């Protein structure tokens, strides 16, 4: 890959700082090692308003390490921002951007982080700018809510069972949106409490906080899964010819953080072109591949394969792994809400991913099923109609 040519600047330090302070968005400058070399006033104000720690967010701190180890209300974007920043500093990509929520106790907020490189002398740096995009996000949410209301009015004229399911999906989406902010607040202020009361906490107190942390984390995961289920049920389908090989490869690439340090024999066979929504199908395959990665975690060398076979009037695509498998007597529970066939101490999860897959495939006119034996891996099948 050809490395981009960064912009070169040569200004006095005071002029650079004045320029930074004039920007309304939060800005930091980091060097090639990820060390913060300068920040503007907006960065400092934002950090102080959100219980930030100068040792992890201020000048001289390692921003890469802070992102990778981030916790609290605005921590979800940490690891992907670290990956993007590393790529920019290495010259592998010309820039990097990512949108993320960062709600405070007083308001809902969204930001977009922009990372761009530049040179000062022979030293390579990057600017990290967090742009407040709350107004645009709130407009999108209001628009989505209006669309959901219109869709609900149409669904009310269908059969009673379908109407009830639609009501449930709308409720799940609304509850998920409303609960995300308070859960983030709980996680963030638990961290603040630990720091402020560290010298006074007994061992029993620490254990209580550990339980609260674990419960808040699990609740946040459940809310995210519910929201994903709602989106999979309500999002309008954009049907077009979709190359499933490209969808699967994109899904696998998105799961790169989950495969770090793993030895996986990844096999992708020939896959068909089907009529469908590329984004929803990517989500379905991400769920299936993520499960395969998780349940092969005990193998020194795991094998995950995606392939397809042609049947009369349809394509059958399979995702196969050689992991722990499951008891086939309980296969009927796999695609239900919050249904798990393994103890959470063995494999973490919420139990909504496969239900999400089922919703997506059924909306494409297909079906999904699975086969397995304990200790002998699992195979999930997706049937897509031709034409």
Task: Give the pair of three-digit tokens for residue 159.
Answer: 């059969």
Residue 194: inside a domain, yes or no?
yes
- Bridge partners of 37, per DSSP, are none
In this structure, are 290 and 193 located in the same domain?
no
In this structure, are 197 and 260 located in the same domain?
no
> Stretch 136-154: mean pLDDT, rounded?
69
> What HEC string does 221-251 produce?
HHHHHHHHHHHHHHCCCCCEEEEHHHHHHHH
Q: Is 115 helix (H, G, I), strand (E, B) or coil?
A: strand
**With bands split at pLDDT 50, 70 and 90, how would you rate the model's confidence at 204?**
confident
In this structure, the answer to whether residues 293 and 327 fall within a common structural domain is yes
CATH of residue 308 = 3.30.565.10
CA-based radius of gyration for the chain? 24
Of 82, 99, 132, the one marking the end of a domain is 132
Mean pLDDT of the chain: 79
pLDDT of amino acid 52: 67
Residues of the chain with pLDDT > 70, as a percent, come to 74
How far is 86 from 91, CA to CA, in rounded Å? Answer: 9
Residue 67's alpha-carbon distances to 63, 172, 216, 321, in angstroms, are 6, 31, 20, 32
Q: 141 pLDDT band (50/70/90 cuts)?
A: confident
Do 263 and 377 reside in the same domain of the chain? yes
Residue 249 lies in a domain: yes
Q: How many domains does the chain have?
A: 3
Residues 30 and 167 in one domain: no
Query: In this predicted structure, what is the pLDDT of residue 221?
Result: 65
Are 32 and 123 in a shared domain? Answer: yes
Q: What's the pLDDT score for residue 213?
A: 80
Q: Does residue 2 fall inside a structural domain?
A: no
Q: Is there a single domain that holds both residue 183 and residue 310? A: no
Q: Which of 87, 106, 132 is the last residue of a domain?
A: 132
Q: Which of 178, 201, 234 is the last residue of a domain?
A: 234
- Average pLDDT of the residues in 279-302: 87
| Pairing of the two strands 110-120 and 96-101 | antiparallel
Q: What is the CATH number of the domain that holds 82?
A: 3.30.450.20
Q: Is the pTM of this model over 0.75?
A: no
Tell me: do 78 and 107 sit in the same domain.
yes
Looking at the fold, whether 35 and 165 belong to one and the same domain comes out as no
Surface-to-core class of residue 347, CB atoms within 10 Å of its CB (0-12 exposed, 13-18 middle, 19+ buried): middle
Q: Please indicate, yes or no, whether residues 69 and 88 belong to a single structural domain of this protein.
A: yes
User: By residue range, what is the domain housing residue 124?
Assistant: 7-132
Residue 104 lies in a domain: yes
Residue 335 lies in a domain: yes
Answer whether residue 222 is part of any domain: yes
- Considering the domain architecture, whether residues 244 and 357 belong to the same structural domain is answered as yes
pLDDT digit string, tens, across residues 305-348 = 999 999 989 999 999 998 888 777 766 667 654 444 444 444 45
Q: At 103, is the pLDDT very low, low, confident or very high (cuts 50, 70, 90)?
A: confident
Cβ-contact 338, 226 below 8 angstroms: no
Whether residue 1 lies inside any domain: the answer is no
Q: What is the CATH number of the domain that holds 227?
A: 1.10.287.130
- Looking at the structure, tell me whether residues 306 and 322 fall in a common domain: yes
Phi–psi pair at 57, nearest 5 degrees: -125, -10
User: Which one has a higher pLDDT value, 135 or 75?
Assistant: 135
Work out the number of other CB atoms within 10 angstroms of the CB of residue 220: 17
């Amino acid at each position: 890959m050809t490395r981009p040519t960064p912009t070169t600047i040569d200004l006095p330090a005071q002029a650079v700082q004045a320029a930074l302070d004039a920007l309304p968005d939060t800005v930091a400058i980091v060097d090639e090692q990820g060390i913060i070399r300068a920040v503007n006033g907006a960065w400092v104000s934002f950090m102080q308003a959100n219980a930030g720690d100068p040792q992890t967010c201020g000048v001289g701190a390692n921003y890469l390490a802070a992102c990778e180890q981030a916790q609290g209300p605005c921590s979800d974007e940490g690891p992907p921002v670290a990956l993007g920043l590393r790529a920019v500093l290495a010259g592998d990509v010309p820039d990097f951007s990512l949108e993320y929520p960062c709600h405070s106790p007083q308001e809902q907020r969204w930001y977009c982080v922009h990372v761009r490189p530049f040179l000062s002398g022979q030293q390579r740096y990057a600017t990290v700018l967090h742009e407040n995009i709350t107004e645009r996000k709130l407009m999108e949410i209001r628009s989505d809510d209006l669309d959901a209301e219109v869709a609900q009015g149409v669904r009310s004229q269908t059969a009673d069972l379908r109407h009830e399911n639609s009501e449930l999906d709308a409720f799940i989406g609304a509850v998920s949106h409303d609960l995300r902010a308070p859960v983030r607040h709980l996680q963030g202020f638990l961290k603040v409490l630990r720091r402020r009361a560290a010298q006074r906490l007994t061992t029993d107190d620490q254990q209580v906080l550990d339980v609260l942390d674990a419960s808040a984390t699990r609740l946040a995961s459940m809310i995210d899964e519910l929201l994903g289920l709602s989106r999979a049920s309500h999002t309008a389908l954009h049907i077009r010819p979709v190359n499933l090989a490209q969808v699967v490869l994109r899904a696998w690439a998105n799961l790169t953080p989950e495969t770090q340090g793993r030895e996986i024999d990844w096999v992708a066979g020939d896959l068909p072109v089907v009529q469908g929504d590329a984004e929803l199908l990517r989500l379905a395959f991400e769920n299936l591949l993520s499960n395969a990665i998780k349940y092969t975690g005990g193998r020194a060398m795991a094998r995950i394969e995606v392939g397809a076979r042609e049947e009369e009037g349809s394509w059958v695509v399979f995702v196969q792994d050689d992991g722990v498998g499951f008891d086939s007597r309980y296969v009927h529970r796999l695609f239900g809400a919050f249904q798990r066939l393994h103890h959470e101490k063995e494999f973490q999860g919420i139990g909504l991913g496969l239900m999400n897959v089922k919703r997506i495939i059924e909306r494409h006119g297909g079906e999904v099923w699975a086969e397995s034996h304990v200790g002998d891996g699992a195979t999930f099948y997706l049937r897509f109609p031709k034409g």
